[in-house]
Structure 1
Amino acid sequence: MENLESVLKQHKLTLEDYQKILHILQREPNLIEIGIFSAMWSEHCSYKSSKIYLKGFPSDAKWVLQGPGENAGIIDIGGGYGAVFKIESHNHPSFIEPYAGAATGVGGIMRDIFTMGAKPVASLNAIRFGDITQNNSTGSKHRYLLRGVVSGIGGYGNCMGVPTIGGEMSFESCYEGNILVNAFTLGIIKNDEIFYGRAEGIGNPVIYVGSKTGRDGLGGAVMSSDSFSEDSKSLRPTVQIGDPFTEKLLLEACLELFKKDLIVGIQDMGAAGLTSSSFEMAGRSGSGMILHLDKVPTREEKMNPYELMLSESQERMLICAKKGCEANIIEIFNKWELDCAIIGEVTNSGKMELYWEGTKCAEIPIAPLSEEAPILKRAVSQNPTYLDSLPPLKEEIFQALNPNEIFQKLLKNPDICDKAWVYEQYDSTVQTNTITKAGSGGASVIRVKENNKALAMSAICPIRICYLNPKEGAKQAVAKAGRDIALRGGRALAITDCLNFGNPENPEVMWQFKETCEGIKESCKILNTPVVSGNVSLYNQTNQQDIYPTPTIVGVGVIDNPLKTLSSKFSANLSIYHLKPKSCNPQFGGSLVAKHFGNSIKAPIAPINLQDELLLWDILLKANDKGLLKAAIDIYQGGLALSLAKACIRGQVGCESIQPLSFQNLFAESPTQVLIAINTQKEEITLKSLMDLTTNSNFCLTKIAHTGGDKLKIGDISLPLQQANKYYFESFKTTIETL
């Protein structure tokens, strides 16, 4: 091949990769084949840097119907129904083109869900930006990116008629050159009507359905497998353009298709488009496949086989149909005004054979493409030094601070204040199953009418803890997601993860990744929350700056009685108790007050005791089941002061603490702590029942406040509720619209 070095560089392939390709093909590849290997061996598709660390993730339980390896994971939620869910990243595209990147991220994850045969019923997102409060070019840029991403999420999800019911948002300087957009969708399915991405049965037709193919998204998988630099704007053509109205039609057509016995398997054309969908479907079944690329519907003139195989145009599916059912399938998709074309058939050759106008233009053995994909054992630092440049936190700095002033500043900060400006752009109540208000904090809950239960789901990542101690941060992320579910009255059953990291060529990043995986494995095993699906996003680096380790965890659990969904807002005449392990030692490492008012976030991290965490879930579930609790919230960012304040502000009630609270008591943070609210009029009998639940345990229960009045009085903090409302509910909108 002429200009081999240039071609390999363009396709992010090494000479070693090329030697493997020669070995697999037993000849020189042509450009089409080079493009296919490039896409399938990209970091985005092959997980070549991360695969060795993902092995060993707990993925089995009696309620797990489908673990990793398919389009999405599935858990049994009772009554013959399952929950299908997954989280995916669309980071690089969203940084390049925020609206289109976020929109197509939402569209892609929804297709992963309904490809399994499920109806999407809820979405979450975890989005992360630089500091939007700065009145400079960086702040302006990230307010622009935030507006675009939120608009893209809302624009696509709203058109699809799938409620966006919650999520997580954070702001750190490490994301200034590389924002994160992680999209999650959950669907409901009958357990005996699950579809898989498989192509088997010699002679069965392969059918293309959905939108026509264009040149948008070319090279997207490869682009997402590289770092950014100053000239990344030139990557804009690699970002796909979505059409939610077409996807809505595709969803309805697929749901109609699934009701009839017409297909063997179905796969979304996601990253790497027709290449990944065809190779994965045939590969899972050990089959071969013939594709006639000139039969692929196109919307641009003179598209060639290379472009058709690698385009990432949206809203497309590949179907392996049962022979003889072609006419029925075509009729369904014609009814929904979607393209539908028979473009190939299943063979037993074990090869992918591509034809263009009757002539074979490429041929690749399917199994070796995946089996011999590079598995990189990248260098892992044995003594990471990335924290050495951070000075230790000087806690004596806090002694000179006024708790009341700190409290007010944090209440207005984007890390804490209400994000209604965002959530009001999402349709959160369509389908009429949403129980909790979007953006209300904690886990989001939907009613499952099919089995009279509810599902709680929470997206979380304690970013600064993960930066200081990746293993501990990952453990706390899994625990926090499950705790949020327990605080709604549910039991966490499984997680999906989106592991966002910097450049894997940096040994310290790979150390962060390894440690994170170990933390997830340990916590999921002890907490009995298997990993059923997930995604890895590497190369989140711009101009040599890596993001913090950001393992976004989404926990999903079942609430047996939707009427017992626990609130996270306090009302009047409640007694507030602090429930925590006796060994709890609140610390400032990675805390919000250290971030904004200390000289550093670097200080010891309060380690989590996962057995205590599991016991806390049990206490909360039993207490809620007995009707002992009126509301509950955990102590997280901002410490006890901000958690108590948010619960009161959301419930439009004041509060008054009943004992002295030091600066550490107010603002320090550590895991496995909650505030529970009980009826003051029934306090004595309720407290006795609660004490019975905590007897002989490592937990203590301490009354710290009662609700009522029109002021927040928490230790040395005193603020009129009206002023607190203004800070909490109006600050975010003011930041976005006026700076």
Structure 2
Amino acid sequence: MSLDTVEHAAETPDAPQPWSELGLKQDEYERIRAILGRRPTGAELAMYSVMWSEHCSYKSSKVHLRQFGEKAPANDALLVGIGENAGVVDAGQGYAVTFKVESHNHPSYIEPYQGAATGIGGIVRDILAMGARPVAVMDPLRFGAADHPDTKRVLPGVVSGIGGYGNCLGLPNIGGEVVFDSCYQGNPLVNALCVGVMKHEDIHLAKASGAGNKVILYGARTGGDGIGGVSVLASETFDAATPAGASANRPAVQVGDPFQEKLLIECTLEVFREDLVTGIQDLGGAGLSCATSELASAGSGGMRVELDTVPLRDATLSPEEILMSESQERMCAIVEPDKVARFLEICEKWDVIATVIGEVTDGERLEIFWHGERIVDVPPRTVAHEGPVYERPYARPEWQDALQADDANKLARPSTSQELREQVLKLVASPNQASKSWITSQYDRFVQGNTVLAQPEDSGMVRIDEETNLGVAVATDGNGRYAKLDPYAGAQLALAESYRNVAATGARPLAISNCLNFGSPEDPAVMWQFAEATRGLADGCLALGTPVTGGNVSLYNQTGDTAIHPTPVVAVLGVIDDVNRRTPMAFAEEGQLLYLLGDTKEELGGSAWSQVVHDHLGGLPPAVDLDREKLLGEILISGSRDGMIDAAHDLSDGGLIQAVVESCLRGGNGARIVVPDGLDPFVFLFSESAGRAVVAVPRSEELRFTDMCGARGLPATRIGVVDGESIDVQGQFSLPLAEVRGAHEATIPALFG
């Protein structure tokens, strides 16, 4: 078949093209023809198809995501906001911290190990591209029912992929979540987060400026893996099969090599130290199509690329396949001509392949050539930033009222103390509330020696300056059950819990990243969920003063007509001046006084109790009070800084009893708990009211602590003391720690070990 050049495309306007197979709608294809004034070449069609996919263009979500900018709170700490590879915040002392969370959901269902591994690899390169050294990763995960046969296929592969890739990079995995729910059957959510650290002056942006500057592709060779990945795997439901353009004997999911990525990281950081690049972009989703078009559109001119100079693993790849390939461990840099030799020298030192594939021009077009023939001639912004924008119809689903009317507060409750005890044990042994140490022990949490808190603590925390002990804390949260009941409140509850988790460790929350996981945007009910969740998150961030720095939208998470629960995952990053003042969750010393902070109400909608005991989802989620969340955060941070709190644990899934169990087991001590007067013991133990935490206060600090809470108007109720080898809820039941530990720790190994 002859090469489809720009000239040939102009001469053959009626030649048939596989636009539909590449995921484009007819009107989108017609718009491409209008932009170019002719039909696109095969290479141009490939580029537009991947760059106009949901994953890259956010065409169904853009109109709602704008709120994150329009409602952004004033925040002096924000250095780089939405629009770059990752957001950057000021951590103090001249340090900047960059972080981002993204999804690799569909690839991880098809090929769990490589899907999850390359999810870690991709997010690490996003952080690297900002100029930062990656220092930690996290992994919020959602799987189908824990006892489903396919969960036994997917989970071990995903966990091995995350651990295998992250451990080989030498990056500690400091936190995340593992949630089981049948709604994720066939659509696991594998979200990955990375944190990086740099000095303010080391921030780099993705832009190609300066006519004559060279475009250098460096890292791994380009292969046939992941071709068309973002156009289909991340943009269609699983009724779709192999991505268009992907040969049956080539993997649709990218194949990762963490050792190559480690070399790429060190090589890139050395290049940064010598100030050899004017712009840089990682190659992730959409590969070279993304890197070239985004660099050119963000710069001041055009770009010319000689595609046949790209180093290949597979010599049979067509130009279209090279442009669409999502082979991992690749970066693209813009380098001034007099610095090219040194750039290549450093790449050779690190055994990283580097090739000059083009240059920045003084024009306004992205031109790509294949053996001297022009196969792409496009305005780069139309590829990278001016894709379709859809105002998808959305409507509150008809079933929402009935769902909310099915009140969980009316479910049958335990009628005796013995039944209450049995339900506590059933809760703490349930897959979602059980210990995840079988999973997290497969991750290296302490490599590099700067991890000061890691799972199962409320937030992960790393030291970023070994002299001053400056540190950052990060937590991720998201409750799809809450969001199904009320997407607006559900998104705010995810934000509030993540904010609370960071504050509970003593760090001051600064900013957020998010990963918005939803079903098909072509379903008005799903789009309503998305619109409400986005609105809730934007309003919540404004109230808490935590700007959105970036993130990811993952749509089409459904099998057939069955969508996942709306699952906005929110990552909050905070800063702590001295990690030695961090607050752990463990009740570590007998005699510590236990205080419940906040108000407990009869709020069981979407609760762990309603799921575990009754397999029920209905009613309203807990009410959100963001002013209370902010006040609680201030108390937790002040108490940590001033030595008034020895331990803290936020109250969320499973309520007070789950938090007490986790803190007792973590510290190896029991507790005597007293139910406050006027409060139903069942509600006291199982309610999931928001804006609450349980803290352990040294006896010597009790008066100072209660005075602080009283002065600031935060309810603080003394509920017990750390003591003995049992959890005694006085007047109700006693649970020996050994029995609780056995129930809590046996579930996950029994399912997957």
Report the TM-score range of the alignment, normalised by the length of the smaller protein. over 0.9
Q: Are 1:573 and 2:626 an aligned pair?
A: no
Q: TM-score, normalised on structure 2? A: 0.93
Kindly state the Cα deviation for residue 615 of structure 1 after the two structures are TM-superposed.
0.8
1:615 is matched with which residue?
A: 631
**Aligned counterparts, 1:459-470, within 5 A:** 459-470=476-487
User: Structure 2 vs 1, CA of residues 378 and 185 (structure 1 numbering), >3 Å: closer, same or farther?
Assistant: same
Q: Are 1:731 and 2:747 an aligned pair?
A: yes
Q: Quick check: 462-471 or 241-250, which moved more?
A: 462-471
Q: Distance in 2 between matches of 1:342 and 1:153?
A: 32
Which one of 176, 197, 201 corresponds to residue 192 of structure 1? 201
Q: Are 1:443 and 2:462 an aligned pair?
A: no
2:201 alignment partner, SS class: coil
User: Structure 2 vs 1, CA of residues 178 and 3 (structure 1 numbering), >3 Å: closer, same or farther?
Assistant: farther
Which one of 303, 316, 326 corresponds to residue 312 of structure 1? 326
2:546 is matched with which residue?
A: 529
Q: Quick check: 242-251 or 441-450, which moved more?
A: 441-450
Q: Quick check: 163-172 or 728-737, which moved more?
A: 728-737
User: Structure 2 vs 1, CA of residues 396 and 344 (structure 1 numbering), >3 Å: closer, same or farther?
Assistant: closer
**Aligned counterparts, 1:48-197, within 5 A:** 48-57=59-68, 58=72, 60-132=74-146, 134=147, 139-197=148-206
2:9 is matched with which residue?
A: none
Q: Distance in 1 between matches of 2:533 and 2:525?
A: 12
1:278 is matched with which residue?
A: 292
1:694 is matched with which residue?
A: 709
1:554 alignment partner, SS class: strand
Q: Are 1:398 and 2:413 an aligned pair?
A: yes
Kindly state the Cα deviation for residue 203 of structure 1 after the two structures are TM-superposed.
0.9
Deviations along 1:311-353, whole A, 9 cap, x unmatched? 1000001111012211111111111111111110001221111
Q: Are 1:602 and 2:613 an aligned pair?
A: no
Which one of 695, 708, 714 corresponds to residue 676 of structure 1? 695
Q: Distance in 1 between matches of 2:320 and 2:236?
A: 24
Kindly state the Cα deviation for residue 605 of structure 1 after the two structures are TM-superposed.
2.5
Instruction: Give the aligned residue type for 2:578.
Output: N
Does the 8 A contact of 2:57 with 2:385 survive in 1? no
Kindly state the Cα deviation for residue 696 of structure 1 after the two structures are TM-superposed.
5.0
Deviations along 1:466-499, whole A, 9 cap, x unmatched? 1111110111111111111111111000011001
Kindly state the Cα deviation for residue 74 of structure 1 after the two structures are TM-superposed.
0.6
Q: Quick check: 2-11 or 19-28, which moved more?
A: 2-11
2:595 alignment partner, SS class: strand
Q: Quick check: 2-11 or 496-505, which moved more?
A: 2-11
Kindly state the Cα deviation for residue 232 of structure 1 after the two structures are TM-superposed.
4.3
1:407 is matched with which residue?
A: 424
Deviations along 1:51-92, whole A, 9 cap, x unmatched? 010112126521111111111111111111111111110000
1:613 alignment partner, SS class: helix
Which one of 30, 38, 41 corresponds to residue 19 of structure 1? 30
Which one of 506, 511, 535 corresponds to residue 494 of structure 1? 511
1:337 is matched with which residue?
A: 351
User: Structure 2 vs 1, CA of residues 59 and 110 (structure 1 numbering), >3 Å: closer, same or farther?
Assistant: farther
User: Structure 2 vs 1, CA of residues 4 and 712 (structure 1 numbering), >3 Å: closer, same or farther?
Assistant: farther
Which one of 652, 673, 677 corresponds to residue 668 of structure 2? 652
Instruction: Give the aligned residue type for 1:573.
Output: G
Which one of 534, 559, 567 corresponds to residue 550 of structure 1? 567
2:364 is matched with which residue?
A: 350
Kindly state the Cα deviation for residue 225 of structure 1 after the two structures are TM-superposed.
3.5
Runs of 4 or more, structure 1, over 6 Å off, are: 1-6, 233-236
1:238 alignment partner, SS class: coil
2:56 is matched with which residue?
A: 45
Q: Quick check: 12-21 or 170-179, which moved more?
A: 12-21
Does the 8 A contact of 2:407 with 2:605 survive in 1? no
Q: Distance in 2 between matches of 1:490 and 1:353?
A: 48
Deviations along 1:146-170, whole A, 9 cap, x unmatched? 1000000011001111111111110
Does the 8 A contact of 2:288 with 2:322 survive in 1? yes
**Aligned counterparts, 1:233-312, within 5 A:** 237-312=251-326
1:589 is matched with which residue?
A: 605
Does the 8 A contact of 2:650 with 2:694 survive in 1? yes
1:485 alignment partner, SS class: helix
1:643 is matched with which residue?
A: 659
User: Structure 2 vs 1, CA of residues 278 and 59 (structure 1 numbering), >3 Å: closer, same or farther?
Assistant: farther
Deviations along 1:37-63, whole A, 9 cap, x unmatched? 101110010000000101121265211
Q: Distance in 2 between matches of 1:260 and 1:338?
A: 17
Q: Distance in 1 between matches of 2:26 and 2:457?
A: 50
Q: Quick check: 456-465 or 149-158, which moved more?
A: 456-465
Q: Distance in 2 between matches of 1:730 and 1:547?
A: 28
Deviations along 1:612-639, whole A, 9 cap, x unmatched? 1111111112222221111111111111
Q: Distance in 2 between matches of 1:605 and 1:396?
A: 15
Q: Distance in 2 between matches of 1:211 and 1:59?
A: 41
Does the 8 A contact of 2:521 with 2:555 survive in 1? yes
**Aligned counterparts, 1:365-376, within 5 A:** 365-370=379-384, 372-376=386-390
Instruction: Give the aligned residue type for 2:565.
Output: Y
Does the 8 A contact of 2:366 with 2:379 survive in 1? yes
Kindly state the Cα deviation for residue 687 of structure 1 after the two structures are TM-superposed.
2.7
User: Structure 2 vs 1, CA of residues 303 and 412 (structure 1 numbering), >3 Å: closer, same or farther?
Assistant: same
User: Structure 2 vs 1, CA of residues 95 and 387 (structure 1 numbering), >3 Å: closer, same or farther?
Assistant: farther
1:84 alignment partner, SS class: strand
Q: Distance in 1 between matches of 2:234 and 2:114?
A: 19
Does the 8 A contact of 1:384 with 1:511 survive in 2? no
Tell me the C-alpha RMSD between the 2 structures: 1.8
Q: Distance in 1 between matches of 2:237 and 2:498?
A: 31
Does the 8 A contact of 1:73 with 1:532 survive in 2? yes
Kindly state the Cα deviation for residue 416 of structure 1 after the two structures are TM-superposed.
1.1
Which one of 187, 212, 237 corresponds to residue 228 of structure 1? 237
Kindly state the Cα deviation for residue 23 of structure 1 after the two structures are TM-superposed.
1.1
1:374 alignment partner, SS class: coil
Instruction: Give the aligned residue type for 1:126.
Output: P
2:202 alignment partner, SS class: coil
Kindly state the Cα deviation for residue 418 of structure 1 after the two structures are TM-superposed.
1.2
1:151 alignment partner, SS class: helix
Q: Distance in 2 between matches of 1:431 and 1:96?
A: 33
Q: TM-score, normalised on structure 1? A: 0.95
Q: Are 1:710 and 2:719 an aligned pair?
A: no
1:562 is matched with which residue?
A: 579
Q: What is the aligned length?
A: 725
Instruction: Give the aligned residue type for 2:460.
Output: S
Which one of 665, 681, 705 corresponds to residue 684 of structure 2? 665
Q: Quick check: 272-281 or 566-575, which moved more?
A: 566-575
Q: Distance in 1 between matches of 2:667 and 2:403?
A: 43
Kindly state the Cα deviation for residue 577 of structure 1 after the two structures are TM-superposed.
1.1
1:274 alignment partner, SS class: helix
1:48 alignment partner, SS class: coil
Instruction: Give the aligned residue type for 2:307.
Output: L
Q: Distance in 2 between matches of 1:41 and 1:359?
A: 25
Kindly state the Cα deviation for residue 226 of structure 1 after the two structures are TM-superposed.
3.0
2:204 alignment partner, SS class: coil
Q: Distance in 2 between matches of 1:363 and 1:500?
A: 35
Q: Distance in 2 between matches of 1:703 and 1:38?
A: 60
Kindly state the Cα deviation for residue 230 of structure 1 after the two structures are TM-superposed.
5.7
2:177 alignment partner, SS class: strand
Which runs of 5 or more residues in structure 1 are unaligned? none
Kindly state the Cα deviation for residue 369 of structure 1 after the two structures are TM-superposed.
2.9
Kindly state the Cα deviation for residue 196 of structure 1 after the two structures are TM-superposed.
1.2
Q: Are 1:212 and 2:221 an aligned pair?
A: yes
1:457 alignment partner, SS class: strand
1:117 alignment partner, SS class: coil
Does the 8 A contact of 2:67 with 2:535 survive in 1? no
User: Structure 2 vs 1, CA of residues 596 and 233 (structure 1 numbering), >3 Å: closer, same or farther?
Assistant: farther
Q: Distance in 2 between matches of 1:7 and 1:191?
A: 47
